Structures are given as C-alpha cells and as structure tokens.
C-alpha cells in the first residue's frame, strides 16, 4: 500500500509541476489542482497509513491519527476556494489580454500550431 | 488565559463581516465604521504592547484546550511589536484610501479589514498549521486588494502573484506534513520541546521540512531567487494597498524569526540554527540585487517596490547574524522601513496624480502643483531609506553595522550595506531631481487637488521617521528586550504548563 500511495503522490506532484511550467493559464490551473491533490494525500499519510482505524479512541481496536484528517480537510477547503478564484482570474486575464499565456503576451517566435491554439481559445 | 489576545483578530474580522452586509449603505457610514474598526484595532495593539512590555508570555487557548492539544494564541514582545507596526501603518493607509480608492470597486473595506485580521492572526498564533491558515487569509484578501480597481495592468502581475503564492502554500503544507509526521505536534512550543529529541534516522525528514519552510517564508519575504514577482505586483497596486503590502514581506521575516529562533534555535540539538548560515549570504545578495533594481527603475512606484526588496535584504542580513544585538537592530530597522516605505508609496501616488500623463514615470514634465510639499516628503523618505542622518534610517543602519563582530561577516556586511546605501542615494537623487526639478514648458491639465486626509496620512507616515528618532531610546530598549526574549526560548516553552481556565473560575 505504501508503495502505491507514494507512487500516486509522486505522479500527481510531478504532473502538476510539469503543467505549471507550461505557462498557459489553463494548464497552470489544472497543474495547481493536481499539485494540491498530491499535497493533500501526502498530508493525509503523515498520520501513518492504516486500515480499519477509527479516528476516535475507544471505538475500535485500532485507531488512526485524527489530526492529519482535520488538516487535510482544512487544506481541501482552502485549496478549493483558491482554485475557484484562480479560474476567475485566469478568465479575466484571457479577456483583458486576449492571450492565455501567463505573461499576457504572445511570443514572436511561437510555432504556428501553438499560435492556432491560442486563437482557438479566444 | 487572557481574552485581550483575541481583540486584534476579532475587531477587524467582525468589522469586515459588517462591511459585507453594508454594500448598499451610504458611503460615509461605511467609511466611518471601517475607519472606526481600524482605530479600535490600533487601541487593542497599544493595550497589548503595554501588556507584553513586562516580558511575560501571555496565552489564549481556543476552546479552553490545554496546549499542545488545541490552537493557542501567544503574545510576547515580538508579536506585540508587529501588531503595533501593522496597526499604525494600516490606520494611515486606510485614511488615505477613503478619498478615492475605496470607490473604485466594491468591498474595498471588507478586503482591507480581512487582510488586517489575517496579518494579526499570523503574528499572534502559536501553532504552525494555524500560521498556514493565517497566511491563506491574508493572501486571499491581498489577491482581492491587488486587483482592486481593475484594469489590464493589474491582471497579469496579479495572476503571477496568485499562482506563486498557491505554489508557496503547497510547499508550506508539505513542510508542515514532514515536521508533523516525525514530531506528532504542530504547536510551536511543543515543537521546540520535541525537535531536540528526534532520533537520528528521522532527523533528515525534519531537516528537509525545516529547510522547505525557509523556502516558503523566503517567498513571502521576497528573498533573492524568489523576489521577482514583487516589483511588478507592488508597482501596479493602488497606493494604499501597496503601502499596506509594505508589511506583507515583514510577515515572512516575522515567521523566519519566530520559527528559526524558537523551534530550530540554539537548543534544538542536532538541528540547532538550521538554515541560519543560508540566510546571511542570500540576504546580502538580495540587498545587492535590490540596489541594482533601484538604479534601473523607470517609474517611481517600481523604485519604491525595489526599496522593499532592499529592506528585506538588510533585515535578513541582520537576523542572519543570529545574535541578540543583530536581531534587535533588525527589529529597529523593521519599524523604520515599514512605515517610511509605506509613506513613500503614498507620496509617489500623490506625485503621479499631479503630473498628468507623465504620472510616475521618471521623465521631465511640466511643473507640478504642490511641488514644494511633495518634494520635501519625497526627500525625507529617501533620506530615511538611504540611511542618512538625522533620520531614523541612519540610526537603524548604524545599529546593524555595530551588531556585527569583526571578521569576514563584518567585511561583507559593512561593504555591501554602505556601498548599497551610496547607490540608493544616487538612485533617489537621480529620480528626485528629474521629477521635481527638471521641468519643461507647458502646463498640466489635471485638476486633482491635494485634500487634507491624503496629505496628512502621507506626511504622518514619513514624519514617523522623525518620531522614531525622538523616541530612539525607548524603542531600542524595547527591541533589545525583544531580542533577548527571542534568543531565550525557554520562556515560550513554559506555555505548555500555563493553566487554562478551570470550571470554578
């Protein structure tokens, strides 16, 4: 379980970082979402991975650490709000600059297919 | 338990909530209530400063949970000082904003007050995860404030700022998780107890977490490789917002000071003084780059934004010395630089309003109105920032220079601060002489007159530099005591034994 869990976190995080570096607003939003999924899973695992554990003492034989679950819950709520704000801001940026690049400028030397993609988005 | 500790958080929070429901109330009423809230927050900060001055720690446990199980607020000299610096700056920014800025978009006062609430939580909290929450509160309010007033110029820097800070939040969570997975606690005082006891095979995890935390705080504080978002974002924000943001980088510095003296301080066993040997060189490089940026600025707002980075470099260089004298000097400089840079943002906005289409560009333009007053204010602010006598910047830099012991550190610190100060002076006099003295023919068609609130608040913030000089004795006594308290974390750890309210009371 640990290996699978670690691989999932690693995949989510590396995909997120890759998409962030694409420097176009939509991939950046998706990348940040994936990154926050990875982080939330990581935070969840800091209470050690166990099955059949209740987060309440006395309810069952084994119990799991409730604090990471509370932390993850907080992180999810905050991350969700931030993503919603970022989507709104990205749309605003697209409307203002007519380009989906995070710098708001179209590069002179962009390959033709990327320029097409930019125009389709408009 | 001391219920006063919640006042600086609850006052702006409740005031902000009230503002949400007053969207259609008369502007005058909203302004009065919003300003009243900020004044009340200043009163609360003064009370807490008086409380903290006796050197004892005060604690407020939410839900009456005995620490380390619940979330606690902790008041010590450093927290009280930061609250005070923020409250004074906020009051003058708020007065400045009620003339024009708050009508440029809805909910300015709400965002402003929520930003203050977030800042105050960050300064008071004694819990690492709660610090994360405080950062998020002040960040989401700052996103709104940064974009306030709209316009294409603000969208792109705003997007950069938001994305970078979201990445910063993700890193913060990762580092908090790493530290929690080994220590099993996030209460700062309990962490200070647990960190020295970590076994050697688990040490790398906490060490990595601690260093990652430094990266996060470095992003907030705008240390060199992480500072390039700052000039564009600050230069594009409206003046009162940019002035308030002068304290935002100081939150990162506060967090570095708190975490790396308490949790990874001298007593942290194998992790003692983690990251401290990184701070000093990076701070000096930040300072150097800040001066280069200052010299290359083409607008006055960018000039002041780079000054923020210079302040960060100077502050961290003094903190990186990791001595009581260095910390004390850094705190003295922090008070001075936060208020003066905030004031300069306001002055530059006044200047750009007077210059028509030339706005804040450093170019020749027809002679502006009120040139004498604005020029004097700019000159005073520049003098304080460059560190020339007789203003507070000189005394602050003198304290920093005195704090270093002879050796290789002294050679680097003295040369970079003094040469940096010289080039700062050149940049300011270049900008000032072009903007204020070199006028060309013609007249400006803008008819924006200076009103009393804006002039008074800008003058007051710059004038505080003179007040700091007048009160240099008491202030440096206070910062000395603060530094002594910070470098003796045993007192902070006693919070764990502090009694919460029992049923009989």
Closest C-alpha among B62, B246, B240, B274 to residue B148:
B240
pLDDT value, residue A108: 55
Cβ neighbours of A96 in B, within 8 Å: 152, 155
**Distance set, CA B460 to CA B165, B344, B345, B407, B493 (Å):** 32, 11, 13, 40, 39
Indicate yes or no: CB of A32 within 8 angstroms of CB of B147.
no
Query: Which of the four pLDDT bands, split at 50, 70 and 90, describes residue A122?
Result: very low
Between CA B359 and CA B302 the distance in angstroms is 13
Distance CA B106, CA B112 (A): 12
Which residue bears the tokens 């040490």? B203
Domain spans in chain B, listed from the N-terminal domain onward: 275-491
**Interface contact flag, B180 A67, Cβ < 8 Å:** yes
| CA B190 to chain centroid | 27
H helices of chain A, in order, are 2-20, 25-45, 66-97, 112-121
> What was the pLDDT predicted at A115?
44
Q: Decide: B242 and B345 in contact? Cβ < 8 Å.
A: yes
Residues comprising chain B, all counted: 505
- Distance CA(A112)–CA(A107), nearest Å, equals 11
The three-state DSSP-derived secondary structure of B480-496 is HHHHHHHCCCHHHHHHH
If we measure between CA atoms, which residue out of A64, A45, A52, A33 comes closest to residue A7? A45
Beta-carbon contacts of B438 under 8 Å, excluding residues fewer than 6 positions away, are B364
pLDDT tens over chain B, length 505 residues: 788 899 999 999 999 999 999 888 888 899 999 999 999 999 999 999 999 988 889 989 888 888 888 889 999 999 999 999 999 999 999 999 988 778 887 789 999 999 999 999 999 999 999 999 999 999 999 999 998 876 777 888 888 899 999 999 999 999 999 999 999 889 999 999 999 888 888 899 999 999 999 999 999 999 888 888 898 889 888 899 999 999 999 999 999 999 999 998 888 888 888 888 889 999 999 999 999 999 999 999 999 999 999 999 999 999 998 899 999 999 999 999 999 999 999 999 988 888 877 788 888 888 888 888 899 999 999 999 888 888 888 999 999 999 988 888 889 999 999 999 999 999 999 999 998 888 887 777 666 778 888 899 999 999 999 999 999 999 999 999 999 999 988 888 888 887 777 655 4
Q: How far is A111 from chain B (nearest CA, A)?
A: 23
- B31: how many CB neighbours lie within 10 A of its CB? 19
Angle (CA) B394-B400-B403 rounded to 5° is 140
Are B453 and B98 in contact by the 8 Å Cβ rule? The answer is yes
User: What b/e readout covers A67-105, taking b as 16+ CB neighbours within 10 angstroms?
Assistant: bbeebbebbeebbeebbebbeebbebbbebbebbbbebe
Query: Could you tell me which of A113, A118, A84 has the C-alpha nearest to residue A101?
Result: A118
Q: Which residues, in sequence order, are CB contacts of B368 under 8 Å at separation 6+?
A: B351, B354, B355, B374, B444
B125 bridge partner residues: B73
Would you call A1 exposed, middle or buried from its count of C-beta atoms within 10 A (0-12, 13-18, 19+)? Answer: exposed
pLDDT for A114 beyond 50: no
More confident residue, A121 or B349: B349
Strand B439-440, strand B365-366: pairing = parallel
Q: Taking CB atoms and an 8 Å limit, are A89 and B133 in contact across chains?
A: no
* Smallest CA–CA distance from B134 into chain A, residue: A78
Contact B180 A89 (CB under 8 A): no
According to the 3-state scheme, what is the secondary structure of B245-289? HCCHHHHHHHHHHHHHHHCCCCCCHHHCCCCHHHHHHHHHHHHHH
Q: How far is Cα A28 from Cα B55, in angstroms, rounded to an integer?
A: 47
- Of all residues in chain B, the one with the smallest CA distance to A105 is B156
Does the bond joining B473 to the residue before it have cis omega, within 30 degrees of 0? Answer: no
* CATH code 1.10.1060 for A2-103: no
Contact B194, B184 (CB under 8 A): yes
Positive or negative, the CA dihedral A73, B185, B121, B64 is positive
The minimum CA-CA distance between A60 and chain B, rounded to whole Å, is 21
Name B457's Cβ contacts closer than 8 Å, sequence gap at least 6.
B92, B93, B95, B96, B346
Distance CA B300, CA B456 (A): 20
- Distance from the Cα of residue B455 to its chain's centroid: 23
The CB-side HSE value for A98 (13 A sphere, CA atoms) comes to 4
Backbone angles phi, psi at B389, to 5 degrees: -70, 155
Closest alpha carbon within chain B to A13: B170
CA distance linking residue B169 with residue B82, whole number of Å: 22
Nearest by CB to A32, from B147, B163, B174: name it: B163
Q: Does residue A16 have a pLDDT over 60?
A: yes
Yes or no: say if B55 and B39 are a contact pair by the CB < 8 Å rule. Answer: no
C-alpha triplet B368, B373, B379: angle, nearest 5° = 100
pLDDT at B332: 94
* Helix intervals (H) in B296-407: 300-320, 324-354, 371-386, 392-403
Domain range summary for chain A, segments of one domain joined by +: 2-103
Q: What residues of chain B lie within 8 A of the CB of A65, using their CB?
A: 184
Query: What's the residue count for chain A?
Result: 122
pLDDT number for residue A118:
41
Q: Tell me which residue has tokens 């969840």.
A: A44
Note whether B102 and B31 are within 8 A (CB). yes
CB B409 within 8 A of CB B331: no
pLDDT at B102: 80
CA separation for the pair A79, B118 (Å, rounded): 17
**B167: chain A residues, CB-CB within 8 Å:** 20, 32, 35
pLDDT, one tens digit per residue, over B421-462 is 999 999 999 999 998 888 887 777 666 778 888 899 999 999
Residues 6+ apart with CB under 8 A from B72: B59, B60, B61, B62, B125, B126, B127, B187, B495
> Using the beta-carbon criterion (under 8 Å), do A104 and B133 form an inter-chain contact?
no
Q: What residues of chain A have any CB closer than 8 angstroms to a CB in chain B?
A: 20, 25, 28, 32, 35-36, 39-40, 42-43, 45-48, 65, 67-68, 71, 74-75, 78-79, 81-82, 85-86, 89-90, 92-93, 96-97, 102-104
pLDDT at B481: 94
ipTM of this predicted structure: 0.86
């Amino acid at each position: 379980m640990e290996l699978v869990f670690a691989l999932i976190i690693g995949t989510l995080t590396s995909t997120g970082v890759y998409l962030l570096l694409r420097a176009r607003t939509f991939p950046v939003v998706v990348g940040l979402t994936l990154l926050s999924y990875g982080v939330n899973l990581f935070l969840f695992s800091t209470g050690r991975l166990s099955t059949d554990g209740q987060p309440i003492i006395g309810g069952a034989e084994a119990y799991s650490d409730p604090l990471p679950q509370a932390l993850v819950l907080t992180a999810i709520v905050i991350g969700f709000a931030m993503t919603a704000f970022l989507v709104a801001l990205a749309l605003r940026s697209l409307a203002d600059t007519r380009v989906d690049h995070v710098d708001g400028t179209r590069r002179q030397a962009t390959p033709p297919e990327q320029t097409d993609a930019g125009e389709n988005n408009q | 338990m001391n219920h006063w500790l919640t006042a600086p958080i609850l006052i702006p929070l409740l005031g902000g909530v009230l503002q949400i429901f007053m969207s259609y109330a008369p502007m005058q009423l909203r302004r009065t209530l919003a300003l009243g809230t900020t004044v009340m927050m200043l009163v609360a900060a003064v009370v807490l400063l008086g409380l903290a001055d006796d050197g004892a720690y005060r604690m407020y446990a939410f839900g009456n949970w005995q620490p380390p199980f619940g979330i606690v607020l902790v008041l010590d000299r450093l927290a009280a000082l930061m609250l005070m610096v923020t409250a004074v700056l906020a009051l003058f920014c708020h007065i400045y904003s009620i003339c024009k800025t708050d009508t440029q978009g809805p909910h300015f006062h709400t965002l402003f007050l929520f930003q203050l609430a977030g800042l105050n939580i960050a300064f008071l909290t004694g819990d690492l995860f709660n610090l994360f929450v405080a950062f998020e509160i002040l960040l989401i309010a700052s996103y709104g404030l940064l974009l306030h007033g709209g316009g294409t110029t603000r969208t792109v820097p705003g997007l950069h700022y938001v994305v970078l800070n979201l990445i910063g939040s993700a890193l913060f969570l990762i580092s908090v998780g790493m530290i929690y997975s080994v220590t099993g606690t996030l209460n700062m005082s309990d962490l200070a107890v647990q960190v020295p006891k970590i076994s050697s095979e688990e040490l790398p995890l906490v060490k990595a977490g601690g260093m990652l935390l430094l990266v996060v705080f470095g992003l907030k504080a705008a240390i060199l490789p992480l500072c390039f978002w700052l000039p564009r974002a600050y230069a594009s924000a409206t003046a009162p917002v940019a002035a308030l943001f002068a304290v935002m980088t100081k939150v990162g510095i506060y967090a570095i000071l708190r975490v790396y003296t308490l949790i990874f301080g001298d007593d942290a066993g194998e992790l003692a003084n983690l990251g401290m040997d990184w701070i000093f060189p990076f701070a000096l490089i930040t300072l150097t780059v800040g001066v280069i940026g200052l010299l290359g600025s083409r607008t006055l707002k960018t000039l002041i934004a780079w000054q923020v980075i210079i302040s960060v470099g100077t502050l961290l260089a003094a903190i990186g010395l990791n001595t009581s004298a260095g910390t004390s000097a850094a705190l003295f400089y922090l008070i001075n630089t936060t208020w003066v840079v905030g004031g300069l943002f306001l002055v530059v906005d006044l200047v750009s309003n007077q210059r028509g289409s030339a706005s804040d560009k450093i170019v020749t333009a027809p002679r502006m109105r009120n040139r004498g007053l604005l020029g004097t204010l700019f000159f005073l602010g520049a003098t304080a920032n460059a560190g020339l006598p007789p203003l507070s910047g000189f005394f602050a830099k003198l304290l920093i220079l005195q704090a270093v012991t002879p050796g290789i550190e002294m050679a680097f610190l003295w040369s970079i601060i003094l040469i940096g100060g010289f080039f700062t002076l050149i940049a300011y006099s270049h900008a000032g002489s072009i903007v204020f003295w070199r006028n060309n023919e013609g007249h400006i068609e803008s008819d924006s007159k200076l009103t009393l609130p804006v002039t008074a608040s800008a003058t007051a913030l710059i004038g505080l530099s003179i007040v700091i000089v007048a009160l240099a004795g008491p202030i440096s006594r206070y910062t000395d005591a603060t530094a002594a308290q910070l470098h003796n974390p045993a007192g902070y750890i006693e919070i764990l034994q502090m009694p919460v309210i029992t049923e009989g009371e």
